[in-house]
Structure 1
Amino acid sequence: MIQIGIIGGSGYTAGELIRLMIHHPKIKIKNIVSRSHTGKFIHLIHQDLLGEGEIDRIKFTSDVSKEIDIVFFCSGHGQSRKELNNISNNTKVIDLSQDFRIMTQSIFNKRNFIYGLPELQKELIKKSNNIANPGCFATAILLAILPLAKNKLLKKDIHISAITGSTGSGRSHSDTNHFSWRNNNISAYKIFQHQHLQEIEQTIHQVQNNFSSKVYFVPYRGNFSRGIITTIYTYSIFSLEKNKEIYKAFYKNHPFVNISDINIDVKQVINTNKCILYLIKDKDQLIIISIIDNLIKGASGQAIQNMNLIFNFDETCGLKLKSVRF
């Protein structure tokens, strides 16, 4: 059993991480840090954990134990660099913020963070001690694009629109994640400027170094709690059938990505670590629809997937989840 620590334990991603970990057969949660709730029982903040056995008796702490094998940073962006100063060099780290995702920022305190998209660099993750977990939008978008980039098939501009649920804004209150604003409402934001665009472009160029076109990304705030649906279109010389062959071949050894032959909807992936892709061809444009749960495959589930790879567990351990369809 490996010993787990979580820092930033009161937010949505930490809550999902705990919920998944209490049923993981290979780990034990040593302690969960929340300096704003120190001394409180965890189930008073994450109320869905009431009655879930040992977790009922655990309280938030102010600092992480030194007797842990791996720590998960679930604090806000910009906090992980501060927290890292208090972590032993022998402790492995998975950071769910954006602090170390960009290559020019990935080395800190003699730690080299690897971009943790398992479908891109699984073997490298297995050898790593420090993982920068990808962003939720970036995960949904990159999984839709990677097979094309890997085969050097991105020839022209890439156009992306994506809608995320309110949990993508975190637990802190703001006007745009308040119920009365979100309900029966939708809005675009950070058009062409979203922070995940940098890691998307970085990864595309890493895989297809001759890509010289533009990536246009329009994100939307949706009027639902969780999930992301992304629509991407770009030029393609191949038929729909040929593109499907390329995608299925690329993902044949990746258990969480599936190619659907019929149209898809967000409910298919809620509460799962799946990404489902649906391809359409219209004249010379290939359209890829991608769906994930932003809190699981887009955050906490992917973090556990990375942990499984680091410790040589089965990649799907603790992540065999089925969506709630209705």
Structure 2
Amino acid sequence: MITAGIIGGTGYTAGELIWLLLHHPAAELKFVYSNSQSGKAVTSVHTDLKGDTDLKFSNEIQEVDVIFLCLPHGKAKEFLQENPVSDKTRLIDLSNDYRLGLKLGDKSFTYGLPELDKEAIMGSNYVANPGCFATGIQLALLPLARERLLKDEVHVHAITGSTGAGAGLSSTTHFSWRSNNLSVYKAFQHQHLDEIKQSIRKLDSGFKQEINFIPLRGDFARGIFASIYTNADLSLEQAYQLYEQYYRNAPFTVVSREEISLKEVVNTNRCFIQLQQHGKKLLIITAIDNLLKGASGQAVQNMNLMFGLEETAGLKLKSTKF
């Protein structure tokens, strides 16, 4: 069994990760670290886990095979500087601290998008988990990038559920504001743009086009639904063949020739992709669960690859469509 620990155990992604590890066929969750909740039952915060675990939050780090960092952005680097872990322990960071090439001493982190660089993840001890928006948008663009077909500006319109903002309350996350509401935020300057461009340039070093990204806050709890379009010199059939070929060995990325919807992927580690053609424009529609394929599920997928397990182990989940 792979022994695992979680640093930062009270947020939404930590709650999903705890559940996945508790039910993983080849993993044993040994500790959930939280200074603020130390000594309290994990189920006192994650009440949906009642009956699944008797674990209590701890403020001590045990030596385990893998540690997942579920800390706020900027805090993972700080934590690891103050709390060195054994060289024998593998790390998977769910924050954005190590996604853009920052090193931990002399240790480099591999960017953990399996559909981009699975072999590198399999050989890595340190993985930086991708962002949620970045995951859905990259999976829409990677097949085009590999063939160097991103020759014009890319336009992205993507809407996320309230869990994407984390468990802490703010003026734009509480129910009275979010319900029956919609708003744009961080237009053209979202922090995930840098990692999206980094991945595209890994496949197409000459990519210099603008990615015009308009993120929106939705009035639902979880999921990201993105529509991306750009000019592409392809027929719709050629585009589908390109995407189906690229994702032929990607167990969680499904290219659909039928209309997709968000609820089909919520509570799963899947990304659904649908294509449309409108004149010279190729429209790529993607749907993911921001807490699973966009965070905790993808982290477990990376753990599976790092330890030589079946990629889908512990992640055969069904959506709640109805």
Q: TM-score, normalised by structure 2?
A: 0.98
* 1:158 counterpart letter in structure 2: V
Residue of structure 1 in register with 2:44 after alignment: 44
Superposition deviation, residue 201 in structure 1 = 1.0
Give the 3-state SS of the residue equivalent to 1:98 in structure 2. coil
Q: Distance in 2 between matches of 1:83 and 1:147?
A: 36
Q: Which moved more, 1:285-294 or 1:109-118?
A: 109-118
Q: Deviations over 1:262-297 (max 9, x none)?
A: 111100001000000000000000000000000000
Give SS of 1:298's match: coil
**What percentage of residue pairs aligned between the two structures are identical?**
52
**Residue number in structure 1 paired with 2:97:** 99
Distance 1:220 1:320 in 2: 29
Q: CA RMSD in A?
A: 0.7
Question: Could you tell me which residue of structure 2 aligns to residue 179 of structure 1?
Answer: 175
User: How far apart in 2 are the matches of 1:299 and 1:17?
Assistant: 9
**1:80 deviation in Å?**
0.6
Q: Aligned residue for 2:249? A: 253
Distance 1:213 1:225 in 2: 33
Q: Which amino acid aligns with 2:5?
A: G
Q: CA deviation at 1:167?
A: 0.2
Q: Which residue of 1 aligns with 2:280?
A: 284
SS of structure 2 residue aligned to 1:294: coil
- Residue aligning to 1:29: 29
Query: 1:63 corresponds to which residue?
Result: 60
SS at match of 2:251: coil
Once the two structures are TM-superposed, the CA of residue 212 in structure 1 deviates from its matched residue by: 2.1
Matched with 2:68 is 72
Inter-partner Cα distance in structure 1 for 2:234 and 2:109: 36
| Partner Cα distance (1:151, 1:23) in 2 | 39
Return the offset for 1:109. Answer: 1.7
Distance across 2 between alignment mates of 1:23 and 1:158 = 40
Task: Give the aligned partner of residue 125 of structure 1.
Answer: 121
The equivalent residue for 2:106 is 110
Which SS does the other structure have where 2:250 is aligned? coil
Give, in angstroms, the shift of residue 95 of structure 1. Answer: 0.1
Q: Counterpart in 1 of 2:294? A: 298
Residues 1:11 and 2:8 aligned together: no
**Residue 160 (structure 1) aligned with residue 156 (structure 2):** yes
Q: Count matched residues.
A: 320
Match in the other structure for 2:218: 222
Supply the distance in 1 between the matched residues of 2:252 and 2:46 (Cα, whole angstroms).
27
Does residue 308 of the first structure (1) align with residue 320 of the second (2)?
no
- The 1-side partners of 2:172 and 2:39 are apart by 31
**1:59-104 Cα deviation digits (max 9, x unpaired):** 0001221x2010000010111112213222221000000000012x
Distance between the aligned counterparts of 1:174 and 1:155, measured in 2?
39
Aligned mates of 1:180, 1:80 — CA distance in 2 = 32
Distance, in Å, in 2 between the alignment partners of 1:13 and 1:109 is: 26
1:88 to 86, 89, 92: 86
Range with bigger deviation, 179-188 or 87-96? 87-96
Q: Give the conservation status (yes or no) of the 8 Å contact 1:6–1:64.
A: no
Structure 1 residue ranges, 4+ long, deviating more than 6 angstroms after superposition: none
Alpha-carbon distance between aligned partners in 2 of 1:61 and 1:203, rounded to the nearest angstrom = 36
Distance 2:207 2:66 in 1: 36
Residue identity matched to 2:106: K
